[in-house]
Structure 1
Amino acid sequence: MDRSDIQDEADFRSTTHVQGAASFSKFMTVLQIIADTPGTLDIAQLTKRAPFPRGTVYRLVSALIAEGLVIQSGESGTFRLGPRLLQLAAKAWEDSDLRSIARDFLVSLRDATDETVHLAVPSNNRMVYIDKLVGSNRVQMKTSIGAQVELHSTSVGKAWLSGLPDQRLVEVIKTLDLRRHTDKTFTTPESLLEELKRTREQGFAFDDEENEPDIRCLGSPIFNRFREPVGAVSVSMPVYRHDVRSHELCARLVRQTAQQISTELSRMV
Structure 2
Amino acid sequence: MTTAEKSDNVRAVGRALEILLAFTEEDPELSAGELLKRVDLSRPTLYRLIYTLQESGFLLSVGEPQRFRLGPAVARLAHVWKSTLDLGAIAQPVLRRVWEATHETVALFVPQGNMRLCVAELPSPQPLNFKRGVGYTERIVRGASGRAILAYMDPTVEDLRSYVQGTGLNLKELEAELALTRQRGYSTSHSELIPGAAAVAVPFFNQQGQVAGSLGVFGPEVRLDAARQKAAVNLLLEEAVKLSEALGFGVAIQAR
Give the alignment's TM-score, normalised by structure 1: 0.58
1:23-43 CA deviation, whole Å, 9 max, x = no partner?
Answer: xxxxxxxxxxxxxxxxxxxxx
* Aligned residue type for 1:160: I
Q: Distance in 1 between matches of 2:248 and 2:148?
A: 18
In the alignment, what sits opposite 1:19? none
Residue in structure 1 matching 2:203, options 213, 221, 228: 221
In the alignment, what sits opposite 1:200? 182
Is the contact between residue 223 and residue 231 of structure 1 (CA under 8 Å) also seen in structure 2? yes
Is the contact between residue 161 and residue 169 of structure 1 (CA under 8 Å) also seen in structure 2? no
Structure 2: runs of 5 or more not aligned: 1-83, 251-256
Residue in structure 2 matching 1:127, options 116, 131, 147: 116
* Aligned residue type for 1:206: T
| Structure with higher helix content | 1
In the alignment, what sits opposite 1:158? 147
Cα offset, 1:128, TM superposition: 0.5
1:261 paired to 2:250: no
Q: Distance in 1 between matches of 2:221 and 2:124?
A: 15
How large is the Cα RMSD of the aligned pairs? 2.0
Structure 1: runs of 5 or more not aligned: 1-94, 181-185
1:176 paired to 2:163: yes
Q: Distance in 2 between matches of 1:206 and 1:123?
A: 20
Cα offset, 1:237, TM superposition: 0.4
SS in 1 for 2:113: coil
Which of the two has higher C-alpha Rg? Answer: 2
Q: Distance in 2 between matches of 1:199 and 1:257?
A: 17
* Aligned residue type for 1:197: A
Give the alignment's TM-score, normalised by structure 2: 0.61
Cα offset, 1:230, TM superposition: 1.1
Q: Distance in 1 between matches of 2:187 and 2:238?
A: 13
In the alignment, what sits opposite 1:239? 221
SS in 1 for 2:126: coil
1:250 paired to 2:237: no
Moved over 2 A (4+): 168-172, 177-180
Once the two structures are aligned, what percentage of the paired residues are identical? 25
Q: Distance in 2 between matches of 1:178 and 1:250?
A: 32
1:9-53 CA deviation, whole Å, 9 max, x = no partner?
Answer: xxxxxxxxxxxxxxxxxxxxxxxxxxxxxxxxxxxxxxxxxxxxx
In the alignment, what sits opposite 1:117? 106
Q: Distance in 2 between matches of 1:197 and 1:126?
A: 20
